[in-house]
């Protein structure tokens, strides 16, 4: 058997992390993207820039600040301790928070583009037909932005699977809690277990290729998502 039970545990954990992160990002990313697509507020620039920050920041920067912020002396850590939750470093919940921040632009930007492409017109028409904002969202925006949602979900999921630096810095390499596939591969290489590393790394290449293949093959009319 080329993959050990520890490898499968890492794969299972990674899939859980990526799925949960994607769901959370679709829920919180949708209102952010809607706002960014339609607002004329002066805050549009700064908020857009903050959402895009993880695109350019090295994961080590995000990981470093999360380690400090979620630790017992950081603001987040003090808040979670006040709530009786302890600290979030070295926990699955901590990884989810880190992943949500790290993968945010990969979900928000495709959604924002999809919403912007719809334009104000269909919304105005819906309003004249006396649809309330919720009706408009579920019966007009959601169906029209469907390709955007699919792209956002795939990119958010795939990007979380590929995450390494943030997990490395706040995870603590705990089996079944924070040891995801990318860290497991790093471990194998460090321990000079190249054969093991090859199996997992090769699987990652195939997986990533298939995801991108699905993404590129499915988009016909859209030329870009960012």
List residues binding another protein (CB under 8 A): 67-68, 70-73, 86-87, 89-90, 168-169, 172-174, 186-187, 189-192
Instruction: Round to whole Å and give the CA distance between 163 and 18.
Output: 10
In the bound state with another protein, the residue whose beta carbon lies nearer, of 31 and 86, is 86
Q: How far is CA 161 from CA 12, 21, 94, 139, 180, in A?
A: 11, 10, 16, 32, 8
Q: How far is CA 45 from CA 8, 51, 194, in A?
A: 43, 10, 46
Q: How far is the CB of 71 from another protein (least distance, A)?
A: 5
In the bound state with another protein, the residue whose beta carbon lies nearer, of 68 and 93, is 68
Q: How far is the CB of 177 from another protein (least distance, A)?
A: 9
Q: How far is the CB of 190 from another protein (least distance, A)?
A: 4
Instruction: Round to whole Å and give the CA distance between 29 and 78.
Output: 26
Q: How far is the CB of 14 from another protein (least distance, A)?
A: 17
In the bound state with another protein, the residue whose beta carbon lies nearer, of 55 and 191, is 191
In the bound state with another protein, the residue whose beta carbon lies nearer, of 35 and 186, is 186
Q: How far is the CB of 133 from another protein (least distance, A)?
A: 43
Instruction: Round to whole Å and give the CA distance between 226 and 212.
Output: 15
Helices (H), the chain: 5-38, 44-56, 59-70, 75-82, 92-118, 121-128, 133-136, 142-144, 146-161, 165-171, 181-190, 194-218
In the bound state with another protein, the residue whose beta carbon lies nearer, of 52 and 93, is 93
């Amino acid at each position: 058997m080329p993959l050990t039970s520890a490898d499968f545990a890492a794969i299972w954990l990674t899939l859980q992390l990526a799925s949960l992160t994607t769901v959370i990002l679709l829920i919180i990313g949708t209102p952010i993207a809607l706002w960014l697509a339609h607002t004329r507020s002066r805050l549009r620039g700064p908020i857009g820039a903050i959402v895009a920050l993880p695109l350019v920041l090295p994961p080590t920067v995000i990981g470093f600040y999360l380690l400090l912020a979620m630790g017992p002396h950081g603001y987040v850590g003090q808040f979670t301790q006040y709530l009786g939750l302890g600290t979030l470093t070295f926990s699955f919940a901590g990884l989810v928070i880190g992943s949500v921040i790290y993968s945010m632009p990969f979900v928000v930007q495709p959604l924002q583009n999809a919403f912007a492409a719809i334009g104000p017109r269909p919304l105005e028409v819906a309003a004249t037909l006396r649809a309330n904002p919720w009706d408009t969202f579920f019966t007009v925006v959601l169906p029209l932005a469907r390709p955007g949602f699919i792209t956002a979900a795939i990119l958010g999921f795939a990007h979380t699977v590929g995450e390494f630096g943030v997990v490395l810095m706040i995870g603590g390499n705990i089996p079944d809690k924070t040891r995801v596939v990318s860290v497991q591969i790093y471990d194998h290489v460090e321990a000079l277990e190249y054969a093991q590393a090859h199996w997992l790394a090769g699987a990652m290449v195939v997986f990533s290729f298939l995801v991108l293949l699905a993404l590129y093959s499915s988009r016909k009319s859209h030329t870009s998502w960012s």
